[in-house]
């Protein structure tokens, strides 16, 4: 009787099927925030930031929501690993994902600070804006992008060893990660590669999970 009560009271927590949508939400929101910032950030310091104020504000509002969705996406992936999860690669996978997220948030904070300086400064903020813009691009394109590449490599390695993903998906992930590792570019548009990859992977997971549940039903 005690055992029956125990099983009824303590059930195993399962990931909801809708959680697979988290990657799609992240890809859409993060890509949108990048596009908004890319079209609002001036190419020269002579252009005022206030002109792109609404785009910058929208990007800063979308970025935290994208970050929350990315955490859910990581949870979905770890749930699919189950007992097959390797401690070494899982640590690299989780650590690189969290570092990518932290650096992205830091970059967005710099963008918000630049916008505030441009709006409220009484003097010429050109030097401050230029410095902040370079800091933001370095955080994104040197560090965050590399962490995204490590995230993809560790995940592709887990997929290869466990067979959770088709070989073509693993190879494509390795190739994209290699590009992000070696590319030297301070264009903000390079960042679109990662959310596009997350979106494709999430759509694939969602489709395969639906087919699997339909077959089991």
3-state secondary structure string across the chain: CHHHHHHHHCCCCCCCHHHHHHHHHHHHHHHHHHHHHHHHCCCCCCCCCHHHHHHHHHHHHHHHHHHHHHHHHHHHHHHHHHHHCCHHHHHHHHHHHHHHHHHHHHHHHHHHHHHHHHHHCCCCCHHHHHHHHHHHHHHHHHHHHHHHHHHHHHHHHHHHHHCCCCHHHHHHHHHHHHHHHHCCCCCHHHHHHHHHHHHHHHHHHHHHHHHHHHHHC
Task: Give the whole-angstrom CA distance, residue 169 versus residue 174.
Answer: 9
Pick from 111, 109, 142, 101: which is nearest to 49 by CA? 111
Pick 193 or 6 by higher pLDDT: 193
Whether residue 164 contacts residue 84, with contact meaning beta carbons closer than 8 Å, is answered with: yes
pLDDT at 77: 83
Mean local confidence (pLDDT), 113-130: 68
Whether residue 150 contacts residue 81, with contact meaning beta carbons closer than 8 Å, is answered with: no
pLDDT at 80: 75
Instruction: Examine the pLDDT at 18 and tell me if it is beyond 90.
Output: no
Tokens linked to 34? 């990048």
pLDDT at 54: 80
Mean local confidence (pLDDT), 197-211: 84
The mean-pLDDT minimum among 4-13, 33-42, 174-183, 184-193 falls in 4-13
Task: Give the whole-angstrom CA distance, residue 62 versus residue 14.
Answer: 28
Report the predicted TM-score, pTM, of the whole model to 2 decimal places.
0.79
Whether residue 89 contacts residue 157, with contact meaning beta carbons closer than 8 Å, is answered with: yes
Whether residue 82 contacts residue 66, with contact meaning beta carbons closer than 8 Å, is answered with: no
Q: pLDDT, tens digit, for every residue of 161-189?
A: 888 889 999 999 999 999 999 887 777 78
Task: Give the whole-angstrom CA distance, residue 180 versus residue 25.
Answer: 22
Pick from 215, 177, 157: which is nearest to 165 by CA? 157
Instruction: Examine the pLDDT at 146 and tell me if it is beyond 90.
Output: yes
pLDDT bin (cut points 50, 70, 90) of residue 138 is: confident
Q: pLDDT over 90 for what percent of the chain?
A: 34
pLDDT at 8: 44
Task: Give the whole-angstrom CA distance, residue 142 versus residue 136.
Answer: 10
pLDDT at 2: 46
Mean local confidence (pLDDT), 35-64: 75
Whether residue 152 contacts residue 180, with contact meaning beta carbons closer than 8 Å, is answered with: yes
Q: pLDDT, tens digit, for every residue of 19-35?
A: 668 889 999 999 999 99
pLDDT bin (cut points 50, 70, 90) of residue 39 is: confident
Mean local confidence (pLDDT), 98-112: 90
Pick from 105, 116, 8: which is nearest to 53 by CA? 116
């Amino acid at each position: 009787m005690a055992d029956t009560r125990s099983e009824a009271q303590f059930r195993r927590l399962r990931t909801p099927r809708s959680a697979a949508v988290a990657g799609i939400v992240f890809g859409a929101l993060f890509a949108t925030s990048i596009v908004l910032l890319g079209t609002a950030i001036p190419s020269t310091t002579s252009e005022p930031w206030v002109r792109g104020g609404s785009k910058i504000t929208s990007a800063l509002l979308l970025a935290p929501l994208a970050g929350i969705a990315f955490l859910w996406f990581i949870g979905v992936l770890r749930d699919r690993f189950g007992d097959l999860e390797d401690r070494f690669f899982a640590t690299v996978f989780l650590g690189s994902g969290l570092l990518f997220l932290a650096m992205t948030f830091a970059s967005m904070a710099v963008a918000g600070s630049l916008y505030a300086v441009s709006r409220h400064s009484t003097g010429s903020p050109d030097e401050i804006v230029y410095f902040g813009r370079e800091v933001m691009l370095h955080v994104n394109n040197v560090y965050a992008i590399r962490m995204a590449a490590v995230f993809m490599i560790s995940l592709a390695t887990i997929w290869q060893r466990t067979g959770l993903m088709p070989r073509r998906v693993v190879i494509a992930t390795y190739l994209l990660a290699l590009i992000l590792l070696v590319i030297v570019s301070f264009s903000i548009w390079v960042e679109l590669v990662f959310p596009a990859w997350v979106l494709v992977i999430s759509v694939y997971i969602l489709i395969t999970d639906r087919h699997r549940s339909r077959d089991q039903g």
